Structure 1
Amino acid sequence: MTFATEEEIVRPSPPNAAQFLLMALLAPMLLAGISIWLEAEYVGADQLRQQAHDGFANSARVATLIERLTAAESAQRGFVITGEPSFLDAYARARSAMAATIVGLEPELREQPAERQHLAALGRLARLKFDEMDTVIAERTRGGLAAAARKVSSTAGQRLMEQTRAESNAMVDVAAATRDLKVAAYRARVDADWNAIRIGIALIGLATFAVTWLIWRQGMAKYRSRLQTYAVAERNRAILQSTVDAIVIFDPNGKIETVNAAASAMVGYRAADLIRQDASLLIKLREAPMSFHERIGLIDGQLIQPQRPDRKMIHRDGHEIPVDVALGIMRLPEGDYIVASARNIAERKRVEQMKDDLISTVSHELRTPLTSVVGALGLLRSGAAGTIAEAPARLVEIAENNSRRLIRLINDMLDIDRIQSGRLTIQREDIDVREIAAQACEGSEGAAAAAGAHIACALPDDPVLISGDAERLLQVISNLVSNALRVTAKGGVVTIRVTQSDDGKALVAVDDDGPGIPPVFRDRIFGRFERATHERGVGTGLGLAISREIILRHDGRIWFEDRPGGGTRFAFAIDALRAEQRDAVAEALPKVLLCTSDADLVALVQSVRVDTPFRTVLVDSVMAATAALAGAGHAAFLLKPTIAEGDDADVVEALRASLASLTPPIVLATAEHRTRLAALAPLDGVAWIDAPTDPAQLGATLARAITPRPTILLLDDDLDVLLVTEAALQSEARVLTATDLATARAMIESHTIDIAILDYDLGGASGLDLLPALARARRAIPAILFTARDVDAGVADRVDAVLIKSRSSIGDLKAAIGRILPAADMTA
């Protein structure tokens, strides 16, 4: 089997049957034609020869007429002189012979009018002569010799004889002339035939030469074709054998057809031992009752996956060899062959492992201190360590912004590496896109202020729920906002908009007031390291490429479009949860029982944004609230006692029911209401909010009510991270810190832990080593991996959430705790 490049491969044409048949029949047809012609020429020449012969015969027969006439005259004279009757017998015979000769000549001379004319005249003279001789014979018989002599002595008979002889000579001359013409025609015909035969022989020779030349030419063409095929085969064989990649060709039945030296060396078999063996000897295929093409993924003449990275080939001794495989189709008349090219990637995987280890080390060494720096600066800026002056606060803000920019750079570089290696994972959970957009709005305000622009957030009233990775989607929106700020002029507005389309898509759009996307940049805007020339500031050019990959892994679509009023809109769409899915998500949210008839209060409560989403259950009377509290549990009970129905005793009863069901009540009341209600019964645990209602106070109170203070175990060997994280969480949870596994295990034994936050690297150990102890606790303890290392899907599946320190803020960590703790309580 030989192989050639696509340019060299020309499908052979079958021989032309008509041409071949014509050439095969040419010589026989030529010979048959010559044979027919020769036969016709022979017949014609023979006719001329026969005519010439007949001319000679006729001339001779004409000459016999005079002889017979002379013989008859001699016999007549003999009878006259002697009177012997025997002379009359000779006379009769001569007369009869002459008459027969004349009768015989008549049809022979049918086509010779001149000779026929002479023959007729000769016959007439002969009859006159015989009549004259008959008269003499009669006189001799009647009157004797004297009477006959007197008759003979007249000159009439002599004149007739002379006339007859003259006519005979004339006829002989005409016959001779005709004969000469026939002989000349015969000889000319024979000469022409000889010339034609010579020409025919020459033509046959030329045809034989032409056929021989054509056969030689065809033979040489076949020889050159075979020589070229041999050269191509040798070249392909040399290429096949010299390439460092293993090449195996499988026939349509999955049998090994050809292997090169590299393949033989890679798997440890001799080439001869592999030929006609099944493909499963070298590669792992699906075990199913299907054809080889279906098992390899050749459907309808197309390979579903021609490139197959990171696969395994089986060595003769049984061990597996990591390879990258490329498949191709070689279509031959007997079917589709599969050409597999495999490259040994063991060395590459070793180098990649070294690179991954280096990246992991660098990322840990950079992310961990940067997380501490950003967290500490954030606490300072928020006043957690006391109020700082305006000038130092500005310096803290600058340091925090630049630290975050450095973290984003590190994250982008690590993310693009994970995308290239196929290790970018998405952790899906039911989330509200509005909350992610709100976080992006809040987190981008500092960058917007630095750029002299404004951030506007347009969010719908109803939840927009999807199944996705909140951290990754927040990264996408932040990237889009960062790009928008780089092209927005001072005083401009960047708008984050969330909507849900009629076809069930969650849509997120980021609008800017910039100059738009240049036409030359549109086709490559989502490429890696691509930046438009009109953008301000610095950047890696990776944000849009990473955003595109994240959206694609959410089965979504990302695009850009020109805004009618100027500027650009970047948007992405992801499938929203169906109605039944939204209902299930809403049912799992914490419930706040709201007892009021004040529509403004209802709107205020539903607009409050807290880290833990909740849903409101509305009742319009104290009695209805008491009945509801007796049923399903609620995270909080909010009451405004100025409603029309119910008196103070009913209100106190409802508050006691709320306290009894462990749902802390919140009462919006004036100072007079609070005093009057407290006088009826002690109501410890009630949160009082003075009317008119302060939205900030209401939001903080609700957050504390629906998010009980959990006990959090924080395991990290970096003291700075411990201090910053503990300071950030201590207002919302009880934080136990540990820097090693032994201390953490002791705390699990002595405390009721609600959730554990673990670092991956612990100076030679791993926070994952604590997972068995968390699972053996009195109640299984959920775990969050809070690390500077990028982890694969196998590690992520062992914990409840994975947060990358440099990519995730303390707010992200709080949100993850808020999502995981209610689910863990429900499971318990």
Structure 2
Amino acid sequence: MTFATEHEIVRPTPPNLVQFLLLTLLAPVLLAVFSVWLEAEYASTDAFRQQAHDGFENSARVATLIERLTAAESAQRGFVITGERRFLDTYSTAKVAVGTTFLQLPPELRGHREEEQRLATLRRLARLKFAEMDEVIAKRRTAGLDAAASLVSSNAGQRLMEQIRLESTAMVDAAGRTRDREVATYRTRVGEDATTIRIGIGIIGLAMVAVALLIWRQGMAKYRSRLQTYDVAERNRAILQSTVDAIVIFDPNGMIETVNAAAAKMLGYRAADLIRWDSSSLIKQLDTSRTFHQRIGLVDGQLRMPHRPDRKLVHHDGHEIPVDVALGVMRLPAGDYIVASARNIAERKRAERMKDELISTVSHELRTPLTSVVGALSLLRSGAAGTIAEAPARLIEIAENNSRRLIRLINDMLDIDRIQSGQLTLQRERTNLCEIAAQACEGSQGAASALDVQIECLLPKHPVLISGDAERLLQVISNLASNALRVTSAGGTVRIGVAQTDDGQALVTVDDDGPGVPIAFRDRIFGRFERATHERGVGTGLGLAISREIITRHDGRIWFEDRPAGGTRFAFALDRLREDRLEAAPVAMPKILVCTADADVVALVESLGIPTMFEMVRVDTVAAASAALARGDHAALLLDPTAPEDTDCGLVRALQASLDALTPPIVLVTAEHRARLETLATLDGVEWIEEPIDPARIAEALRAAVARSGTPRPTILHLDDDQDVLLVTEAALRLEANVLKATDLAAARKLIDTHVIDLAILDFDLGGASGLDLLPTLASAQDGAIPAILFSARDVGADVTDRVDAVLVKSRSSIRDLKAAIRRILAAADTTP
């Protein structure tokens, strides 16, 4: 069996049957034609020879005719003289012989007019002669000798004999001349035939030489072809045997046809021992209930999966060999052969394990401290540690943005590695896509402000429900928003929108005002490490590739298109979940008390689009706000210092009333009031928001206030071996919960025994132990099972996700995300009977 080389292989064509027959029959046909011609020539020459022979015969017959006439005349005279009857018998015999001779002469003289005329004259003269002799014989009988003698003496008979002799002599001379011509013609024809025979023999000889040369050329061509085939086979055999990959060729029935040295060495057999083995003897867990081509997915001559990564072969001693297999189809007259190339990936597997360990180390050693840094910077920027001057606040914002960018870089690198290894997992659950988009809008505000770009969030008033991984979908929208910000010029707008389509899908769009996607870049825009040249800032070029993978695993599609007004729209669509249309009992909405005389502030609050609905109660003065707080419960007080009766005493009374009513106040601070209100910043529970007003910060503050309204402060156990993360989390949750901190399992179990825990936050890695080891203790708590959130630097699989209530990766989840998960889980626990 030969194999393909680097040169193109031309399929051999069968020999031309007509040409082969013509060449093969050339010599026999020539011989047959020559034989027919020779036979015709022989017949023609023989005719000439026969004509010459007939000339001699005619001359002899003419001579015999004269002799017989003479004999008849002598017998007639003998009878006349003697009267004896015996002479009459001789006369009668001669007369009959003369008649016979005349009968023999005409066939040979046909076609010779002169001879035919002379023969007619001779026949007439012979009849006259015999008539004369008959008359003499009759006279002798009747009248006697003298009467007969007188007739003889008249010399009439003699004159007739002389004429007969003259005519016969002329006939003999003419026959001689004819004979001489025929003989000459015969000799000439024989000479010509001899020459023709020699030429024919030469032509046949040349034809035989040509056929012999052709046979020789065909033989040499066949030899060269076989030699070339041999060279190709030897070259392929050398290539096959020298390649480092194991190569096995299976026949159409799945039997091993050929193996190379690398395959025999990999499997621990001699190559000869593997020939005619079935494929199921080497490949682990191969389905033997179907045909070989069905097992490998060969349909209509095409392989559905030519590349089979991470497969296992069985060694001679029984151990398994991890390999990557590539399959190819070799079309032969006997059927479709399969060429399997297997590469041992044991070393790669070992490297991957080392890489996984390194990634685990990177996840824990980099992501955990970065999470603490970002959380601490975020708390500082929000005023949790008091009012910060403008210059330090700007530095804190820069540090936070760069820390988040570093986290995104680490996340992208780890995500792309998980995608390549097939380890990217999704936690799909019922999710409101509007909430995810709102979080993406809020999370993008900081980067947008730094670039002087506006973020516009276009969300419907009703929820848009899908089945998906909220964290991953937030990552996708954030990636798209980040790309849009990089291509949008200062003063432009990036719009993030959610809508429902008529075909039952949820649509998310991110529009920018940039220059559009370059034509040359469009085919590779979703590729890995691809970046357009016109983008601002620094990126890895992995965001779109990761986004496409996430959306694909959600059974959705992602694309981009040019906007009619300029710029680009990136969008993705997911299948939407349909809500059951049930009549719901009216629910009392929480109240937000807004104290301001500025209509723009009221319009701002109304336009925030907070998913959790609330009722806004508006008052114009601080006194009215204090009275309203005394009359009813409110989730929060939004206080504008520019309201009438805005004095220090009035502000203190209003804030104190709000805190007494467990309503966390929110104060809008202007630059002109900063110095006057500085003394009030020490009040615990007050959130200060400086102008220019950041809508995202107001929305977050109101959402947190609504979530806390009417709910006692829960107790949360936080288990983590990183003190910085514990401190940042405690600082972030101090207004919403009592946080108990533990750095090891023993301290956590002790806190569970001595406190009523509402929720636990667990880290995965605890310096040799795992926070998951605390799950049995949480499940068997005295007051019922305690819900748990896994807040770790490591990505975990579905087996771990199923054991906890929520999973947050530190580098991809902010403190805000952690707060949202806590509220969601506690709310679900309160509604559980």
Determine if the TM-score, normalized by the shorter chain, exceeds 0.5: yes
The aligned counterpart of 2:587 is 593
Contact 1:61 1:101 in 2 (8 A): yes
**Which TM-score applies when normalising by structure 2?**
0.83
| Residue 809 (str. 1) matches residue 803 (str. 2) | no
Q: What SS is found at the alignment partner of 2:537? A: coil
AA partner of residue 580 (structure 2): D
Q: 1:714 aligns with which of 715, 718, 726?
A: 718
1:438 to partner: Cα distance = 0.6
The aligned counterpart of 1:273 is 273
| Residue 758 (str. 1) matches residue 755 (str. 2) | no
1:717 to partner: Cα distance = 0.7
The aligned counterpart of 1:498 is 498
The aligned counterpart of 2:777 is 773
Q: Please list every run of 5 or more consecutive structure 1 residues that lacks an aligned counterpart in the other structure.
A: 597-602, 617-637, 641-654, 656-663, 669-684
Deviation per CA, 1:568-612: give whole Å up to 9, x if none.
1111112212x2xx339x99xx9872399xxxxxx99999866xx
Deviation per CA, 1:170-203: give whole Å up to 9, x if none.
1112222222333333333433433343333333
1:396 to partner: Cα distance = 1.7
Q: Against the structure 1 CA distance between its residues 665 and 491, is the aligned structure 2 distance closer, same or farther, given a 3 Å change threshold? A: closer
> Partners in 1 of 2:276 and 2:712 — Cα distance?
70
AA partner of residue 162 (structure 1): E
> Partners in 1 of 2:282 and 2:510 — Cα distance?
52
> Partners in 2 of 1:768 and 1:614 — Cα distance?
33
Contact 1:711 1:736 in 2 (8 A): yes
1:496 to partner: Cα distance = 0.7
Q: Once the two structures are aligned, what percentage of the paired residues are identical? A: 73
1:392 to partner: Cα distance = 2.2
> Partners in 2 of 1:702 and 1:373 — Cα distance?
28
> Partners in 1 of 2:556 and 2:828 — Cα distance?
27
Q: What SS is found at the alignment partner of 2:588? A: strand
The aligned counterpart of 1:225 is 225
The aligned counterpart of 2:793 is 788
> Partners in 1 of 2:333 and 2:737 — Cα distance?
74
Contact 2:589 2:613 in 1 (8 A): no
The aligned counterpart of 1:440 is 440
Q: Against the structure 1 CA distance between its residues 235 and 776, is the aligned structure 2 distance closer, same or farther, given a 3 Å change threshold? A: farther
Q: What is the 5 A alignment of 1:288-307?
A: 289-307=289-307
| Residue 373 (str. 1) matches residue 373 (str. 2) | yes
The aligned counterpart of 2:644 is none
Q: Against the structure 1 CA distance between its residues 824 and 9, is the aligned structure 2 distance closer, same or farther, given a 3 Å change threshold? A: farther
1:781 to partner: Cα distance = 3.5
1:720 to partner: Cα distance = 0.6
Which is worse superposed, 461-470 or 28-37? 28-37
> Partners in 2 of 1:520 and 1:112 — Cα distance?
105
Q: What SS is found at the alignment partner of 2:791? A: strand
> Partners in 2 of 1:63 and 1:386 — Cα distance?
169
1:35 to partner: Cα distance = 3.6
Q: 2:729 aligns with which of 725, 730, 745?
A: 725
> Partners in 1 of 2:13 and 2:138 — Cα distance?
102
Which is worse superposed, 228-237 or 123-132? 123-132
Number of residue pairs matched by the alignment: 752
Q: Against the structure 1 CA distance between its residues 308 and 135, is the aligned structure 2 distance closer, same or farther, given a 3 Å change threshold? A: closer
Q: Against the structure 1 CA distance between its residues 275 and 722, is the aligned structure 2 distance closer, same or farther, given a 3 Å change threshold? A: same
**4+ aligned runs moved over 6 Å, structure 1:** 603-610, 613-616, 664-668, 685-690, 694-698, 825-828
Q: What is the 5 A alignment of 1:5-44?
A: 5=5, 7-44=7-44
The aligned counterpart of 2:91 is 91
Contact 1:2 1:236 in 2 (8 A): yes
Contact 1:78 1:87 in 2 (8 A): yes
> Partners in 2 of 1:825 and 1:271 — Cα distance?
70
Q: What SS is found at the alignment partner of 1:424? A: coil
> Partners in 1 of 2:19 and 2:371 — Cα distance?
86
The aligned counterpart of 2:316 is 316
1:502 to partner: Cα distance = 0.8
The aligned counterpart of 1:627 is none
The aligned counterpart of 1:576 is 576
The aligned counterpart of 1:747 is 751
The aligned counterpart of 1:631 is none
> Partners in 2 of 1:150 and 1:481 — Cα distance?
165
1:544 to partner: Cα distance = 1.9
Q: What SS is found at the alignment partner of 2:580? A: helix
| Residue 330 (str. 1) matches residue 302 (str. 2) | no
Contact 1:412 1:546 in 2 (8 A): yes
Q: Please list every run of 5 or more consecutive structure 2 residues that lacks an aligned counterpart in the other structure.
A: 591-602, 618-631, 638-659, 666-697
Contact 2:663 2:709 in 1 (8 A): no
Contact 2:663 2:705 in 1 (8 A): no
Deviation per CA, 1:112-148: give whole Å up to 9, x if none.
3221110110111122222333333344445544444
Q: Against the structure 1 CA distance between its residues 327 and 143, is the aligned structure 2 distance closer, same or farther, given a 3 Å change threshold? A: closer
The aligned counterpart of 2:708 is 704
1:698 to partner: Cα distance = 7.8
> Partners in 2 of 1:354 and 1:150 — Cα distance?
161
1:22 to partner: Cα distance = 3.8
1:725 to partner: Cα distance = 0.9
Q: Against the structure 1 CA distance between its residues 380 and 99, is the aligned structure 2 distance closer, same or farther, given a 3 Å change threshold? A: same
Q: Against the structure 1 CA distance between its residues 169 and 545, is the aligned structure 2 distance closer, same or farther, given a 3 Å change threshold? A: same
The aligned counterpart of 2:654 is none
Q: Against the structure 1 CA distance between its residues 251 and 58, is the aligned structure 2 distance closer, same or farther, given a 3 Å change threshold? A: same
Q: What is the 5 A alignment of 1:688-703?
A: 702-703=706-707
Q: Against the structure 1 CA distance between its residues 775 and 6, is the aligned structure 2 distance closer, same or farther, given a 3 Å change threshold? A: farther
The aligned counterpart of 1:173 is 173
Q: Against the structure 1 CA distance between its residues 414 and 812, is the aligned structure 2 distance closer, same or farther, given a 3 Å change threshold? A: same
The aligned counterpart of 1:562 is 562
AA partner of residue 310 (structure 1): D
Q: What is the 5 A alignment of 1:209-224?
A: 209-224=209-224
Q: Against the structure 1 CA distance between its residues 456 and 666, is the aligned structure 2 distance closer, same or farther, given a 3 Å change threshold? A: closer
The aligned counterpart of 1:385 is 385
> Partners in 1 of 2:218 and 2:664 — Cα distance?
107
> Partners in 2 of 1:252 and 1:746 — Cα distance?
68
AA partner of residue 594 (structure 1): A
**Which TM-score applies when normalising by structure 1?**
0.84
Which is worse superposed, 427-436 or 532-541? 532-541
Q: Against the structure 1 CA distance between its residues 697 and 84, is the aligned structure 2 distance closer, same or farther, given a 3 Å change threshold? A: closer
State the Cα RMSD in Å: 3.3
Contact 1:639 1:667 in 2 (8 A): no
Q: What is the 5 A alignment of 1:622-661?
A: none
Contact 1:592 1:615 in 2 (8 A): no
Contact 1:521 1:532 in 2 (8 A): yes
The aligned counterpart of 1:635 is none
> Partners in 2 of 1:824 and 1:301 — Cα distance?
58
1:554 to partner: Cα distance = 1.7
Q: What SS is found at the alignment partner of 2:490? A: coil
> Partners in 1 of 2:449 and 2:608 — Cα distance?
25
The aligned counterpart of 1:237 is 237
1:689 to partner: Cα distance = 12
> Partners in 1 of 2:156 and 2:558 — Cα distance?
144
Contact 1:434 1:464 in 2 (8 A): yes
> Partners in 2 of 1:448 and 1:376 — Cα distance?
21
The aligned counterpart of 1:132 is 132
Which is worse superposed, 80-89 or 532-541? 80-89
Q: Against the structure 1 CA distance between its residues 749 and 50, is the aligned structure 2 distance closer, same or farther, given a 3 Å change threshold? A: farther
1:493 to partner: Cα distance = 1.0
> Partners in 1 of 2:208 and 2:231 — Cα distance?
34
1:314 to partner: Cα distance = 1.5
Contact 1:436 1:473 in 2 (8 A): yes
Deviation per CA, 1:193-218: give whole Å up to 9, x if none.
33343333333323332332222222
The aligned counterpart of 1:647 is none
Deviation per CA, 1:347-398: give whole Å up to 9, x if none.
1222222223223223322222211111111111112122222332222222
The aligned counterpart of 1:539 is 539
> Partners in 2 of 1:719 and 1:591 — Cα distance?
46
1:798 to partner: Cα distance = 4.4
The aligned counterpart of 2:61 is 61
1:19 to partner: Cα distance = 3.4
AA partner of residue 323 (structure 2): V
